[in-house]
Structures are given as C-alpha cells and as structure tokens.
Amino acid sequence: MDISLFYFLLLGFAILMYVVLDGFDLGIGILYPWFASDEEHDHLMRSVAHVWDGNETWLVFGGVILFGAFPAAYALLLSSLYLPIMLMLIGLIFRGVAFEYRFKSHSSRIWWSRAFSLGSTLAACCQGLMLGALVQGLPADAVAGHSLALFTPFSLFTALAVPAGYALLGCTYLVMKSRGAIQHKAAQRGRPLVWLVMAAMAVVSLLTLLQSEQIMQRWLGGWHALALLPLPLLAIVAARLLYRDLGRVRKSHHQAIAVTEKHEDRPFWLAVSLFVLAFAGLVVSLFPDLLPGQLSYQNAVAPAASLWFMLPGVLIFVPLILAYTIWGYRIFAGKVEDFEQGY
C-alpha cells in the first residue's frame, strides 16, 4: 500500500475515534438540560469524568496527523474554517474545565452545569457546521472572504444533525452506565433521536450525492453500487435494532421485565456502528479529497522523510494506546453508582 494512503486512512481512523468517543461525552453534555436534579447531573458528569480527557486527545491526534502528514491541507483547512474552529475550542474549554470545577463548587454549581451543557452543545454544533461546509466544498476565498460564507442552509442543517447524533450516542452510553430512572429516561429520549438521526443521515446522504457527478457515479453507477449497498442497509438494520433495544429498556421499568446486561450494552454499540457506517459512507463519497473539490490527499502529502519517520511511532504506539485505553475503560466498567466519589 502507498504510504500516503496509509496516512489518509489513519487520519480517517483518528477522526472516527474522536467522533465516537468524544461524541458520547459531548452527547452527555447535550442531554444535560433534559435531566433536572442535581443528583442526575452528578451522575451524568461522573459517567464521563474519567474518560473525557482521553477522548479529546483523539481530536489533537487527528490535528497533528493532518499537520505532519498533510501540512498543506492542515494549513488550508484550519485557516478556512477559522470561526467554527475557534468557537469549538471555546466550547471545549468551558465544558472541559466544568468537570473539575463543578464537583468542587457550591454556589456556582449551576454555572458550571451551564458551562458544561452549553460548551458541549456549541462544540458539537461547530463540528456539524464544519462537516456541512466541507461536504459542500469550501468557498475559494474562505480565508480572506466574508466571515459568514460558511453558514449555508446545508451547513446549518448539519450543525443541528451532528449534535443530535452525539445526543443519541450519549443516551445509549447512559443506558449502559445507569440504572433506574436515569436509564429509563435515557432510553425514552433515545428512541425519537434514532428517527431524527436516520432522517438527518438520509438528507445528508442525498445532498452529498447531488454534490457532484463523480459522487453520484460512485454510489449509483455500475457494480460499485452493489458493493456499497451494505452501507445503507446495515445502517437501517442497526437503527431498527437500536430502536427495539431502547424500547425494551424503557418498558422494563414499567412492567418489571428483566433486562439483561446485553440489552443494556448493545444500544451503545449499535449507535457506534451507525456512526461508523455513516463515516464510511462519507469517506467513500469524498475520497481522495481532504478538502472536497480543492485538495486531494496526494497533493497535500508531506515529503516521504516525514511519513517514514512517523510510521514506527504510529505502528508501535497506536496499538499500545488502544490497549491501555481499553484497560482504563475496563477498570471503570459497570454502573456509575458503583464508583467511589471523586478523588
């Protein structure tokens, strides 16, 4: 395999890891207003307090892989998306520090709750906006041109769709990490979100198809279409199962039906698989571009000396990182109530 393609895939892997991992903890922040009591808010924050930092590191990793392997794309992309990136960073700052300060505050507690939920929502909306702007193709003078050029109806739509997706991930994570009323509420809120997310994915997919002849050809022309057909089909199956599982969790609280651990964990993995499938679809559409219509990965790639230098680091450390990340998650496996308070 061509080494630049390897880095293209690695970048995709980093972004996907970020979207799934920070997706569920940003989702917890987006869901925050739906839970009212202080105890519920404690529970929500504690469910992700030990992992948010690691999850966000994937965002930094994606950034530096882009910087090291595709510097031209890093430069153009980041300066073009200036405003949404800055707003996202501000959002991430507020929700990040809220983890530390909320548990240590008394009178200002409500403000840290707000910082957490508003910051998470703002960051997710900005990521959605960037997704939309990228899929549509950035305006040629995005850096020096009008500040609002990135805000189109489509990018505003994705700015709402991505937070909805994160909220769904958050719901399924809560189902896995909670019992009783919180689990029930998460399952109940999750169900309409499944519909919403599927509808949004359909709209984004259709509009992506209309972006260019080439994308249309790739999905609908010839044998490609058959090979790609499993992507949307599997997504529908996953959504169907997810909807049913959430329904079962919700019902169990009314009718005292036993819900096995499997039913509590599976919604999360189904929601993750929805994200994986959607992301795969996006990559299929946009390949080989990093900035659709403007810059392909081959044209942005760094000199071979840089790519080869990073390779052993990636091959040794990424598996190690995955191993100790899984180890970390396993140490805190089970329901939030079973952890001792704070540190």
Partner 1 sequence: MELDSAQLSAVLSRIQFAFTVSFHIIFPSITIGLATLIALWEGLWLRTGNPVYLQLAKFWIKPFAITFGMGVVSGIVLSYEFGTNFSKFSEITGAVLGPLMAYEVLTAFFLEAGFLGVMLFGWQRVSAKLHYFATCTVAVGTWISAFWIIAANSWMQTPTGHRIVDGKFEVVSWFEVIFNPSMPYRLSHMLLATLLTATFVVMATSAWYLLKQQHQAFARKGLSLTLWLALVLAPLQAVVGDFHGLNVKEHQPIKLAAMEGIWPARESNVPLLLFAWPDQKAEKNHFEVAVPGLASLILTHQWDGELTGLKSVPASDRPNVPLVFFSFRVMVGLGVLMIGVAMLGLLLRWRGTLYQSRWFLRICSVLAPSGVIAVLAGWYVVEVGRQPWLVQGLVRTMDVVSPLPAERVMLSLSLFVLTYSLLFGVYLYFFRKLIKKGPPALDELQQLQIGVKASGYAVSFNKALAEPGQSNGQGA
Of 222 and 303, nearer to partner 1 (C-beta) is 303
Distance, CA of 63 to CA of 179 (rounded, Å): 37
Nearest CA-CA partner of 68 in 130, 132, 4: 4
Nearest CA-CA partner of 231 in 195, 266, 274: 274
Of 85 and 207, nearer to partner 1 (C-beta) is 85
33-47 burial: b if 16+ Cβ within 10 Å, else e: ebbeeeebbbbbbbb
Min. distance of Cβ 77 from partner 1 in angstroms?
A: 7
Min. distance of Cβ 318 from partner 1 in angstroms?
A: 7
Q: What letter does residue 221 receive in the DSSP assignment?
A: S
Of 96 and 247, nearer to partner 1 (C-beta) is 96
Of 212 and 325, nearer to partner 1 (C-beta) is 325
Q: Give 3-state DSSP helix, strand, coil % of the chain, rounded to 5.
A: 80, 0, 15
Min. distance of Cβ 343 from partner 1 in angstroms?
A: 4
Min. distance of Cβ 16 from partner 1 in angstroms?
A: 16
Helices then strands (H, E): number in the chain?
Answer: 14, 2
8 A C-beta contact, residue 22 and residue 285: no
8 A C-beta contact, residue 70 and residue 300: yes
Of 59 and 167, nearer to partner 1 (C-beta) is 59
Q: What letter does residue 212 receive in the DSSP assignment?
A: -
Min. distance of Cβ 108 from partner 1 in angstroms?
A: 8
Nearest CA-CA partner of 182 in 19, 36, 333: 36
Token pair recorded at residue 15: 């972004």
Min. distance of Cβ 150 from partner 1 in angstroms?
A: 11
Chain-centroid distance of CA 27 in Å reads 9
Of 288 and 334, nearer to partner 1 (C-beta) is 334
Of 129 and 161, nearer to partner 1 (C-beta) is 129
Min. distance of Cβ 219 from partner 1 in angstroms?
A: 31
